[in-house]
């Protein structure tokens, strides 16, 4: 009897898991903008808390105005970054023929240095690869991102509007005051964890991006703003993000200059920045803000990357944080939260309230 019951449970779990995976894959176009909007909403909360630290603003600035200020600031920054990205890519497209010529020259240099005829196959591949078409594809992706930004904007607006009536809905849903307080505490804990992570990670990524911009500007790499923004965004991807962010501008340096000296300069300078910020600055700023196992970070990076691509990698840590916070408050899933946590230590909301 128990054996049949266990088989039934496993079957139900697998069916739900498969159904959820299919849903996540096919709903990605709508789910990703909503999750980004949710994260922006968390950041607005963090900005609002910072505004409330100023006594005069706390007394004279109503909550709706604080939310409006946060909303305008966040969207202005996002639109500015997208505009800079768009302009930088337009400038890069103008020199695409020069980059193709320099790439052929670099491959011939590799052939001369190594004494091995490895460039013929590479040249054949390069000839088949239309760099202009590749750049145009990236250009289209940026345009799609600009289009999605409007949808994200709408989502954020409705989340802020929903926030104003959320308390009334909770009162209608839960007549038990103790139960209602626990649900409110759960949302507050989730809000605090995600907001803190996003704020601190943004500061760390911003430091990395600015320092990398200065290094690339000194070396003379074209469109340093584009590469700095790319480094800033890729830094949100745990573990492998900093590596990819270093390799991209280094590889481009070969294409731009047609020689390998600048590539090594980029690798060394940007690499040192990534090592110092990632291993010294970030641990001091982030501290123990996240209670996630390193193995879980890699697994979530792989899973969400497979489901949603690069955006899934960027969102993997915030999604996992939400899962841990929710799972640790559900008795049936608390063991899962323990496995996802860093040291197997969880703090129940009842303990926090006491």
Tens of pLDDT along 195-237? 778 888 888 888 999 999 999 999 988 888 888 988 888 888 8
CB neighbour list of residue 149: distance below 8 Å, 6 or more residues apart: 78, 79, 82
The residue among 264, 289, 314 that closes a domain is 289
Q: Is 216 found in the same domain as 336?
A: no
Element (H, E) at 85: helix 63-94
In a domain, 327, yes or no: yes
Q: What is the mean pLDDT of residues 316-344?
A: 78
Q: Is 265 found in the same domain as 207?
A: yes
Q: Is 296 found in the same domain as 284?
A: no
Q: What pLDDT does residue 218 have?
A: 92
Q: What is the mean pLDDT of residues 93-110?
A: 68
In a domain, 5, yes or no: no
Higher-confidence residue: 103 or 271?
Answer: 271
8-state DSSP, 259? S
In a domain, 9, yes or no: no
- Summarize pLDDT for 278-323 with one digit per residue, the tens: 877 777 776 555 667 778 888 888 888 888 887 788 888 888 888 8
In a domain, 183, yes or no: no
Q: Is 250 found in the same domain as 304?
A: no
What range does the domain containing 223 cover? 197-289
Q: Is 353 found in the same domain as 279?
A: no
Least confident range from 35-39, 44-48, 167-171, 349-353: namely 349-353
Q: Is 103 found in the same domain as 47?
A: yes
Q: Is 273 found in the same domain as 304?
A: no
Higher-confidence residue: 127 or 165?
Answer: 165
In a domain, 8, yes or no: no
Q: Is 104 found in the same domain as 80?
A: yes
Least confident range from 86-100, 183-197, 260-274, 302-316: namely 86-100
In a domain, 227, yes or no: yes
Question: Is the pLDDT assigned to residue 142 strictly greater than 60?
Answer: no
Question: Is the pLDDT assigned to residue 140 strictly greater than 80?
Answer: no
Q: Contact, 270 vs 284, CB < 8 A? A: no
Question: Is the pLDDT assigned to residue 11 strictly greater than 90?
Answer: no
Q: Is 345 found in the same domain as 280?
A: no
Q: Is 201 found in the same domain as 285?
A: yes
Report the domain count for the chain: 3
In a domain, 175, yes or no: no
In a domain, 17, yes or no: no
The residue among 270, 289, 308 that closes a domain is 289
Question: Is the pLDDT assigned to residue 127 strictly greater than 90?
Answer: no
As a whole number of angstroms, the distance between CA 177 and CA 29 comes to 39
Mean pLDDT of the chain: 76
Q: Is 266 found in the same domain as 329?
A: no
Q: What pLDDT does residue 354 have?
A: 45
DSSP string, 104-117: HHHHHHHHHHH-S-
* Band of pLDDT at residue 20, cut at 50, 70 and 90: confident
Q: Is 354 found in the same domain as 322?
A: yes
The residue among 259, 289, 319 that closes a domain is 289
């Amino acid at each position: 009897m128990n054996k049949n019951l266990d088989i039934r449970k496993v079957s139900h779990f697998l069916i739900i898991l498969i159904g959820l995976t299919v849903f996540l894959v096919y709903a990605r176009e709508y789910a990703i903008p909503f999750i980004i909007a949710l994260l922006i909403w968390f950041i607005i909360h963090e900005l609002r808390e910072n505004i409330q630290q100023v006594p005069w603003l706390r007394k004279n600035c109503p909550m709706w105005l604080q939310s409006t200020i946060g909303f305008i600031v966040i969207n202005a920054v996002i639109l500015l970054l997208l505009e800079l990205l768009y302009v930088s890519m337009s400038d890069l497209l103008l020199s695409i023929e020069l980059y193709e010529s320099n790439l052929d020259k670099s491959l011939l240099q590799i052939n001369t240095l190594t004494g091995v005829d490895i460039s013929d196959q590479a040249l054949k591949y390069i000839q088949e690869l239309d760099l202009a078409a590749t750049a145009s594809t990236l250009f289209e992706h940026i345009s799609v991102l600009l289009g999605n930004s409007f949808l994200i904007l709408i989502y954020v607006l409705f989340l802020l509007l929903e926030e104003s009536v959320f308390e009334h809905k909770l009162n209608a849903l839960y007549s038990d005051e103790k139960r209602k307080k626990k649900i409110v505490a759960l949302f507050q804990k989730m809000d605090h964890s995600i907001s803190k992570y996003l704020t601190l990670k943004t500061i760390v990524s911003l430091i990395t991006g600015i320092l990398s911009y200065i290094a690339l500007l000194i070396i003379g790499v074209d469109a340093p703003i584009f590469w700095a923004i790319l480094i800033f965004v890729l830094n949100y991807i745990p573990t492998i993000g900093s590596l990819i962010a270093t390799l991209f501008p280094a590889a481009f340096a070969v294409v731009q200059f047609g020689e390998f000296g600048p590539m090594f300069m980029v690798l060394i300078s940007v690499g040192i920045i990534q090592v110092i910020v990632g291993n010294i600055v970030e641990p001091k700023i982030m501290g123990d803000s996240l209670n996630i196992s390193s193995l879980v970070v890699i697994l979530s990076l792989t899973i969400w990357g497979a489901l949603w691509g690069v955006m899934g990698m960027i969102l993997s840590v915030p999604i996992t944080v939400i899962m841990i916070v929710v799972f640790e408050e559900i008795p049936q899933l608390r063991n899962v939260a323990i496995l996802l946590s860093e040291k197997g230590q969880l703090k129940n909301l009842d303990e926090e309230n006491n």
